[in-house]
Each structure stands twice: as structure tokens, then as C-alpha cells.
Structure 1
């Protein structure tokens, strides 16, 4: 079982603290098993969280025993970090523990020196301050999260959800992450994410919505050479009405939605099969492998081959 230690410091932001707790404890594998054990850790018996006081059941020694450490943001990012906390984080990093920060938690991670020479992000309002206080860190304020492998940082508030879902995807694949995303009532990756590997889930549609049967049909037919007129005929609508209904219910046009569905299917096939890329291009409705590679790179941010290398499950190797 993968152990996640969430570190609570005085002034911890409740939203940032609760995000990894909720996301990881609710994650389930396809066979129903629980893949994560979550532990709340602190340097002191009680943590002042402003509107409430937290009594953490684990101390700093739990950081060294964790597979992943999450650093939630604090209200005052300039508050000094206790030296014993920094030492515990450095010790955990030396053991190979993965460390990820949410929002202004990047200030804590940066204070350890572990982000020196690396790209990182935080809440856009705090990004200039992070760059000023830690000039050796390459601060990028325009992204949802940054994945450096062992060290990850994310922007404010909801970007912490994106980061947690990304970690689940790294650990257990797209199907488990997509299920966790549905439980959180959010897409697996929001539009605008610029992490090295971007995963665009389909815009969620409420159960019983008018377009639900059509969207299911589209997902079942991503390999077909569909046009807007084809989709409109299936829906029994004019193309103008179809476009309007799609934007109202999904936030995207029909063809944008279809392209995302095709890329999501391609990601799944790259992760779970050994099919050649050219075959996958045909399986997801691209007439040309070159067009598929170009679209995949624009959407995901990397090539199909690089994506497969990073995310293909061990069972397919």
C-alpha cells in the first residue's frame, strides 16, 4: 500500500489540507482495493489552523516512512519553517520519497533547497514573492502544476486537485485516476494545464442530461470518420442547435469534444496495449498517423512514444 503523509504546519490552509485527504482516501482500484494509506503529520502535538485546532496523530518521523509527502499551503508563506521540519523533509528526499506541494506549500519545499535549479509553481499571487525569496528556483506562475519527477508543485486551491489526480495517474494509471476524478466531480485535467504530460478528460455532463446518449455514442464511435453533419443527424438536430446545446452542456463544440475523446482513447491504448502508434491512430479515428501525432502533441504536450514510455503499465511490457 502506498503511504501518503500530509504535513500540517501552523497556519495551514484548510482547503489545501483536506484536498489530498479526500482524494487519496476515496481512491479505489478496479478490484475494489484501497491503494493509499493517508497519515496526517505535524511537528507539534497541536496545529493552529486559524478557525480550528488540529491534533495530528503522527509526528515528523512518519515523513521518512512515507512514499509521498504532501505539503499544503499556509496562510503566511513568509512564516519561518522550523528547522526540524526542513531536516525531516531533506531526510525523506534523500530516501527517495516523492514530495509535492499545494499552493504556498511551495515555500516550505523551496526552503529545503530541494527546488534549487528546478522549475516550480505556486499560486499566481505568491509567485513573485517565491521568485524573490528563492532566486535559484525557476518559478513559472502560468501553469497548474509542475512535475519534476521526485518533486512536484501546484498552483492555488483547485490546482491541488489536479496535482493529486496526476499523482494517482502516475501510480495506478488513467482508469483509476479518471474514477477518482469523477468522485471529485471534476475533469481529470482542466484545460490550460501545461504540465509535461497533460491529460484532458472529457467535460463532465450530468446524468440524465439531454446529450448523454449522444456522448456515449460518440465515445463508442471515435474510430469512425465523423463530421459535424453526421453528429447532428444522430442527434436529430440542426448543426446550429447541436453546437449551442453542446456548448451549454459541455463547454465545448461537438468536434472539440470528439477530438478530446479520441485523444483520451489513444492515451488508454498507449498505456494498456503494445499496438504500434500507426495502428492506434486508426483505432481512434485519425486517417493519417502524422495528423494523429500532431494532434496528440498539441493536446498532451509530448509525443505518443514518449507518453507510452512514461505511462505504459508494467503488465503490457
Structure 2
């Protein structure tokens, strides 16, 4: 018998992690990647450059990736306060499990794990958790677009790109206005289904400009660590200008917004990286080999952290409530 959480639903029932056709399509992408590698690069040539990598460098890149996970958890902690106050280790566990699901499940169904775990561990409303994640993802996309403008400046220097970067940064300002408007609409009460949905999403946005700035600086640091680590590794396999390699890494990371996504990102991750590198003059076979090896590194870090996640506390929302109730004197 499963134990109910604060919403009254069984906490043992997890989110639906992809439909059968998603898994079938993801398996097709994986098979296509294996065939393409065998026919073009070859497995021995693919893996040979790993022998030349310094173990110290690999350890440093792993440490940078782990640090980005810690900062992601801190960003969630900042975003969803005060409900999560004092429970950062549990939130770190949630962050690792959420990213593991994102990196391994097909068609981005891993995103469904986040609101489910927020409800399971913290008793958070599913819609509010989903809306908060949506705004955080928009910050991620905004930062990656900003990095893309910097890459365009490297490819063809012009005053246009720095100007667009400043304009793009200025678009963060209205975020706090949207948040305050959403909170006001929620307080006023709106009974239509669509109105409630729109209001919930708007109300989940930060309501203070200072909060927006802190969250964006955290986002910038997260991606600076991750992109630097990934581009440094990929540069070992793809001997090209660093900014070109960085474009490939960003392309791979943006594969999450594609309408298709393979099992563990296999196929879609590599396709997006190659699509970004080849127009910049990188040989297609080198681009494919670099993308696959980067993906192997990503999956390796993902699995290591997934194995360590159970060591972190995972007290359920109901447990916290029961404990507080038992501490109240009768």
C-alpha cells in the first residue's frame, strides 16, 4: 500500500516517463547513430584519443560538471524559498535525479520528474513547480542565446552583435513585472481554467528585479562551468578554434528543444552538435566523433552522480509534516 503525500495522491505512483512510441523512436535514433558511427568514424578511431587525455584534466572537468550541479540546486533553492529552507541536501538529491532523468529518458519526458519530486519531497503543488521550472528553463535558453550572439561576433566581428547582446539582456527586466502581475491576478481571483493556468505561470515568475539578477548570475555561472568543461573536452577531439567547438557544445545542449529526442539523447544530441559545427567549417566525421565522445562524458558524469544521489537525504513531505506535528506539545 502506497502512502499518500500532502496532495492526497499516492507518492509511490511516479510520472509517466514517455509513451511506447517515444521509446521506439528513441531506440531508432540510437540504432541510427550506431550504424552511422560504424560506417564512418569506426569504434577504434572514435575512442583512441581518450588514451591521450590527462587524468588530471578529466578529473578537473568532472569537478566542474559536478559544481554546475551544485549551483543548479542552489538556483532552485533560491527560486522556491522559503518552502525549501534548511533542506538543501534533499534538493540536491532532487536536482541530480531530475537531471539524470532528463539525460536518459526519451523525448524530454524526464522534465516530468521535477514537479513530481517537488511534490514528493516538499509537498509542492504540481502546477506551481512546473511553472517555476518553465521560467528557469527560459533563463537557460536566454543565456544560451546570449552565448550564441557572442559566437556570431567571433565568426564575423561587428558592432551589431554587442548591441543585440545588450538589447537581449534588457529583455530580462519585464520578468519581475510579469511576476507581480501574476501574483496580483491570483489574489484577485480568476475562475476560468485558462485564466487560472496563465495566472499560475505568471505568478511563478520572480517578483523582484534583484531576484531576477541573482538568478541570472547563477545561470551564467552554471553555464560558464558546464560549457567551459564540455568545450575543453570536445576541443581535444575536434582540433578547431575554441569558439567553433563552443558552438558545437551549445548546439548539442539545445538539442533538448528539438521535437525529437533519443534515449539518453543518443542521435539527437550528436545531430544538433554536427549541425552547428559543419557550417563553421569542421569536418563532419570529426564533428560526429567529438559529439559522441562529449556525450559519453556527459552520460558518465550523469551515471556517477545518479549512483551517489541515494547517499543524500530524501525525507518525504509527509515525513516532515508528521515530525513537526509530533513536536507540538499536547
Under TM normalisation by the shorter chain, which class is it?
under 0.3
Between structures 1 and 2, the one with greater strand share: 1
- Normalising to structure 2: TM-score of the pair? 0.26
Choose between structure 1 and 2 for higher RCO, CA contacts under 8 A separated by at least 6 residues. 2
- Normalising to structure 1: TM-score of the pair? 0.27
Between structures 1 and 2, the one with greater helix share: 2
